[in-house]
Amino acid sequence: MNPGSDLPAPLAAGSSEAGAGGHPRTGTRALRIFRYRPGAAGPRYEEHDVPVGASTTVLEALRWIQIHRDRTLALRHSYFHASCGTCGLRVNGREALGCVTALRDAGTGTVTVEPMANHPVLADLVVDMTPFTERFHDGQPILRASEVPVGPQVPGAGDRTRFEDCIECGLCLSACPIAATDDSYVGPAALAFAQRLLEEPRGSDREAILAWADDDHAAWRCHAAFECTEACPSNVRPAERIMTLRREIRRGREAV
């Protein structure tokens, strides 16, 4: 969140030949940014013109503003390559990771950047992720030692879906229309995680997971809008996982 020296030299030096992110400059884009501070009268929007190149990302443009225009702009990021999920935002009303979302893909005209929806806003573009993580099922192992010997990959393994790929960015919850109206809904990421535990049962209590998911505010609250799957940057497909979880619950009921 604090300005640093991790940007390319042309940007850090404020070169007129480079756009945000150090890419060769092709023009400027106007960014309309959501601003908020606790205790303020309310949120507001602030516009900045940013020098950009053909590959400038939303995050690079925000960092340019933070360094060259307003050092008080609060935003969150880490690795710049979609592996940590910390730069989740809404860009022109759609969920996205700022680090891999190019401004050229945001259409023409002014680009509106806002914090994720359905998360408490701490300041500007930074949200509190604590309520998001608290939605997950308690008492189940998340980290496990690998049981696969080190060596060559099994042929075809690259075609398999790995639900560990969830980076817990919160974009699925931001996109979810049910979460927007029901704070008690556990949300797509937590339900996808529960389904993942059923498929990888080492140390998991299957009956406890199914009982947790079989609730009016869990698997049955989803309206299958599939907005979460559309927003997911890691191809976890949470909506499909929720549908599978419902089938598992029904099978459990029939077996009783």
Q: Given a cut of 90, is residue 158 above it in pLDDT?
A: no
**Which of 27-36, 189-198, 240-249 shows the lowest mean pLDDT across its residues?**
189-198
Angle between helices 206-213 and 188-199 (to 10 degrees): 150
- Tokens coding 86: 């910390």
pLDDT at 201: 63
Task: Supply φ then ψ for residue 111, to 5 degrees.
Answer: -105, 120
Higher per-residue pLDDT: 150 or 26: 26
User: Can you point out the beta strands (E) in the chain?
Assistant: 25-35, 44-53, 88-91, 94-97, 111-114, 121-123, 126-127
Backbone φ/ψ region at 156: left (φ over 0), alpha (ψ -120 to 50), beta: left
pTM of the model: 0.81
Give the C-alpha separation, 171 to 118, whole Å: 10
Tell me the pLDDT band of 80, cut-offs 50, 70 and 90.
confident
Q: Given a cut of 70, is residue 98 above it in pLDDT?
A: yes
The 3-state DSSP class for residue 132 equals helix
Percent of the chain with pLDDT over 90: 62
Q: Given a cut of 90, is residue 214 above it in pLDDT?
A: yes
Tell me the pLDDT band of 105, cut-offs 50, 70 and 90.
very high
pLDDT at 151: 53
User: How many CB atoms lie under 10 A from the CB of residue 230?
Assistant: 14
User: How many CB atoms lie under 10 A from the CB of residue 28?
Assistant: 13
* CB of 192 closer than 8 Å to CB of 163: yes
List CB contacts of 185: < 8 A, sequence separation 6 or more.
Answer: 176, 178, 179, 217, 218, 221
pLDDT at 107: 86
Tell me the pLDDT tens digit for each residue of 21-71. 888 888 999 999 999 999 988 999 999 999 999 999 999 999 999 999 999
Q: Given a cut of 70, is residue 6 above it in pLDDT?
A: no
